[in-house]
Structure 1
Amino acid sequence: MTAPRTVTVQTLDHGAVELRCPDWCTGEHEQDVHREDISHLGPDQPLTLPTRGGPVTNLVTALELRPYATDLFLRTVFVNVEIGADWYPTGLAGLEAMADVLAEQAEQLREQARRLALLLQEGRR
């Protein structure tokens, strides 16, 4: 077990704030922020799709915790999900719902693959 890590974040409104990092935190913290914007971030977990041009990132997820946020949801660990250029703080139920939709969309993609296979087998363009 590793020793607890602490960091000091310089804030614009509360001076130096010392906090303990969770085990999953990368230890990188933005400086000169408002205290409510302090966050612990886990490493990015990109979800990629293979394409003819190489892998393309579809989604990026990362654990996050904002101990001083005004939104109480953000004060407990959550997963931040990047879709496009926007981030969506998501809890367990939201992640399960996203996974369910992705599974449904995977089946739609498989159906398209089956349709393409039939068209190619028939020699259609």
Structure 2
Amino acid sequence: MSERTVTVFTADHGDVTMPEPSWCTGEHPFEGYRADIEHQGEEIELTVQTPCHGPVAVAKAGLLQRPFSELGPKAPLVMVEFDELHEYDAETLAGLLDALVAWAIGPMHQLHERLLLLEGGDQ
């Protein structure tokens, strides 16, 4: 099986042909500079139902790779967007996941229990 490739035009290196990861969506608009080239996977969203606004996306995540980056790792990462974009390797992503689970089953669960008491008239 032959490797899939993609060619992206850049301002500093002209046409750059490179391997295309199987998970990449294949969307490569004009990237500007070679160091800016990104492979991006499909985004997944965390959407929650809110009483006043209906469904609201509170986070997005997906695979990301910058094969020519001069500043960071060239290996794939997971980008997670809450208030802004954050990038995680496998180790730091595990820490984020642990923190989210701990938050959900710890303080958030305690708030839920307290709210149930308050709604039941136990002020």
Aligned partners of 1:30 and 1:38 also within 8 Å: no
For 2:95 and 2:28, locate their aligned partners in 1 and report how far apart those are by CA, in whole Å: 30
Aligned partners of 2:37 and 2:67 also within 8 Å: yes
Aligned partners of 1:80 and 1:88 also within 8 Å: yes
Alignment pair present for 1:67 and 2:49: no
Gaps of 5+ in 2: none
Spell out, residue by residue over 1:10-38, the C-alpha distance to the aligned partner (whole angstroms, 9 max, x if none).
Answer: 00100100112101000001215100111
Give the match for residue 27 of structure 1: 26
For 2:37 and 2:31, locate their aligned partners in 1 and report how far apart those are by CA, in whole Å: 10
Give the match for residue 91 of structure 1: 89
For 2:2 and 2:43, locate their aligned partners in 1 and report how far apart those are by CA, in whole Å: 23
Aligned to 2:87, what secondary structure does the other structure show? strand
Number of aligned positions between the proteins:
121
Gaps of 5+ in 1: none
Q: Displacement, 1:5?
A: 2.6
Question: Of Structure 1 and Structure 2, which has the larger fraction of its residues in helix?
Answer: 1
For 1:94 and 1:59, locate their aligned partners in 2 and report how far apart those are by CA, in whole Å: 17
Spell out, residue by residue over 1:56-93, the C-alpha distance to the aligned partner (whole angstroms, 9 max, x if none).
Answer: 212111101111001342x0010011122x21111111
* Aligned alpha-carbon RMSD (Å): 1.7
TM-score, structure 2 normalization: 0.88
Alignment pair present for 1:115 and 2:114: yes
Spell out, residue by residue over 1:75-118, the C-alpha distance to the aligned partner (whole angstroms, 9 max, x if none).
Answer: 0010011122x211111111111111111221211111111111
Instruction: Give the aligned residue type for 2:49.
Output: P
Aligned to 1:25, what secondary structure does the other structure show? coil
For 2:12 and 2:110, locate their aligned partners in 1 and report how far apart those are by CA, in whole Å: 55
Instruction: Give the aligned residue type for 2:99.
Output: V
